[in-house]
Amino acid sequence: MKVIPLPLWVGGGRGGFILIAPNYKGIIKRYREFLPEIDDKHIITILEGNTPLIKSRNIHKIINPGVDIYFKYEGLNPTCSFKDRGMTMAVSKAVSEGSKAVICASTGNTSASASAYAARAGIKSFVLIPEGKIAAGKLSQALVHGSIVMQIRGNFDEALVIAREIAGDYDVTLVNSVNPYRLEGQKTASFEIVDELGFAPDYHMLPVGNAGNITAYWNGYTEYFKAGKGGKLPKMLGFQAEGSAPIVLNHIVKEPHTVATAIRIGNPASWQKAVAARDESGGLIEAVSDEDILKAYSMLASNEGIFCEPASAITLAGLIKLNERAFFKKGDVCVLTLTGHGLKDPGNAIKVSKEPIIVPCDKHSVLKVMGLA
């Protein structure tokens, strides 16, 4: 009798679950032919990747029924953000080269991912974060994974300068997106999208903070296209918060500010690469207000049941902004990357939501609130 193995749902970090095929072994083994070689014994994986591509059921009807909208929900990676794709590559490569410690500067998600993968590898991790500028959910992850977390009295960009100098002078591996292996891992999300759809989308929308992800996705699409996959190349559409939009403004923002903490960066490390991805694809990078980001954030949760962090929702806010200019045509396929889970930043969810209703402990009072009495 032939036994057909069933898929397995496994925990995806803080509140998420990932659908894993029985023999799934992470992105490095799945896409090995497109990645730098790493010996099996050095691969550090927590079965990242294989995240769902969710087709809009309701929002597309509100915005533009003629456009197909898909959400690449990267919040269902092991540490609940897209960073895990790059971190499995960066930490695996570090281990293969004999490194005993990693360091990063972070607005939150990188610290969580680096700490988890370092713990998995059995090596030390050091994290530099801007004091008081990191969401509680992300900070808790770095701390619980045993990283040595240092809050600096400065911003992310200043923290990254320090981290780069230390990595250059000491035997510590830098795992920010300036590490080329990070982008190698992150490009695999493009592969998954093409594999799932059977073709490349017309437009791909991403948040732009340190600008590594838009670079990585474009690299992934172009490599797959050269390998005869995807059929075409998408236009890359990136979005920055108005208070943190150095690429849009074409100058460094010394004091970036936005509710979308994950992209609160004033001097992106992959600035020129992101501009190249924009220009080569025929796309654009624009700014979106915090008000519109929070509207899209609530819209995703209340209309699609998808809980992402505010920085992720900038992709939907950007799509809405472009749609108001009649940017899209009927039949266009748009993929929006939702970079992190909403539980990363629960404070904003509480701020934009109604408070729980307090009622007496009796059935009639409950029915009254329900509108049934």
Question: Which of 181, 198, 232 delimits the end of a domain?
Answer: 181
- Is residue 247 domain-shared with residue 347, that is, in the same domain? yes
Predicted confidence band of residue 132 (pLDDT cuts 50, 70, 90): confident
Rounded distance between C-alpha atoms, residue 288 and residue 100, angstroms = 41
Rounded distance between C-alpha atoms, residue 288 and residue 278, angstroms = 17
- Is residue 186 domain-shared with residue 301, that is, in the same domain? yes
Q: Pairing state of beta strands 173-174 and 148-152? A: unpaired
| pLDDT (average), residues 314-321 | 98
Predicted confidence band of residue 11 (pLDDT cuts 50, 70, 90): very low
Q: Shortest CA distance to 182 belongs to which of 91, 311, 58? A: 91
pLDDT for res 2: 37
| Residue 7 reports pLDDT greater than 60 | no
| pLDDT (average), residues 290-310 | 97
- Residue 103, strand partner residues: 126, 174
Q: Is residue 372 part of a domain?
A: no
Q: Total structural domains in the chain?
A: 2
| Residue 48 reports pLDDT greater than 60 | yes
Q: Is residue 205 part of a domain?
A: yes
Predicted confidence band of residue 133 (pLDDT cuts 50, 70, 90): confident
- Is residue 37 domain-shared with residue 115, that is, in the same domain? no
Whole-number percent of the chain with pLDDT over 90: 85
Is 185 or 6 the better-scoring residue by pLDDT? 185
| pLDDT (average), residues 147-160 | 93
| Residue 8 reports pLDDT greater than 70 | no
pLDDT for res 21: 62
- Is residue 122 domain-shared with residue 195, that is, in the same domain? no
- Is residue 24 domain-shared with residue 136, that is, in the same domain? no
| Residue 3 reports pLDDT greater than 60 | no
| pLDDT (average), residues 271-299 | 97
Q: Is residue 368 part of a domain?
A: no
| Residue 10 reports pLDDT greater than 60 | no
pLDDT for res 135: 80
Report for 8-17, 48-57, 261-270: range of highest mean pLDDT: 48-57
Q: Is residue 318 part of a domain?
A: yes
pLDDT for res 347: 87
- Is residue 140 domain-shared with residue 265, that is, in the same domain? no
Question: Which of 134, 158, 181 delimits the end of a domain?
Answer: 181
Predicted confidence band of residue 275 (pLDDT cuts 50, 70, 90): very high
Q: Is there a contact between 209 and 311 (Cβ–Cβ < 8 Å)?
A: yes
Kind and range of the H or E run holding 333: strand 333-338
Predicted confidence band of residue 55 (pLDDT cuts 50, 70, 90): very high
Rounded distance between C-alpha atoms, residue 267 and residue 72, angstroms = 26
Q: Is residue 317 part of a domain?
A: yes
| Residue 333 reports pLDDT greater than 50 | yes
Considering only the C-alpha atoms of the chain, give the largest distance between any 2 of them, rounded to a whole number of Å.
Answer: 71
- Is residue 196 domain-shared with residue 234, that is, in the same domain? yes
| pLDDT (average), residues 357-369 | 95
Rounded distance between C-alpha atoms, residue 261 and residue 158, angstroms = 16
- Is residue 201 domain-shared with residue 287, that is, in the same domain? yes
φ/ψ bin of 91: left (φ > 0), alpha (ψ from -120 to 50), beta (otherwise): alpha
The pTM of this model reads 0.90
Rounded distance between C-alpha atoms, residue 239 and residue 217, angstroms = 14
- Is residue 151 domain-shared with residue 76, that is, in the same domain? no
Rounded distance between C-alpha atoms, residue 80 and residue 17, angstroms = 10
Q: Is residue 2 part of a domain?
A: no
Q: Is 286 exposed, middle or buried, given 0-12, 13-18 or 19+ CB atoms closer than 10 A?
A: middle
- Is residue 293 domain-shared with residue 324, that is, in the same domain? yes
| pLDDT (average), residues 134-159 | 91
Q: Is residue 251 part of a domain?
A: yes
Q: 93 lies in which domain range? A: 83-181
Predicted confidence band of residue 134 (pLDDT cuts 50, 70, 90): confident
Question: Which of 130, 146, 181 delimits the end of a domain?
Answer: 181
- Is residue 66 domain-shared with residue 192, that is, in the same domain? yes
CATH code for the domain of 317: 3.40.50.1100
pLDDT for res 204: 98
DSSP 111-145: HHHHHHHHHHHT-EEEEEEETT-S-HHHHHHHHHT
Of the listed ranges 146-150, 153-157, 311-315, 365-369, the least confidently predicted one is 153-157
Instruction: Report H helices in 227-281.
Output: 246-249, 271-281
Token pair, residue 4, equals 């057909």
- Is residue 257 domain-shared with residue 323, that is, in the same domain? yes
Q: Is residue 175 part of a domain?
A: yes
Question: How confident is the prediction for the chain on average, in pLDDT?
Answer: 92
| Phi and psi angles of residue 91, each rounded to the nearest 5 degrees, phi first | -75, -40
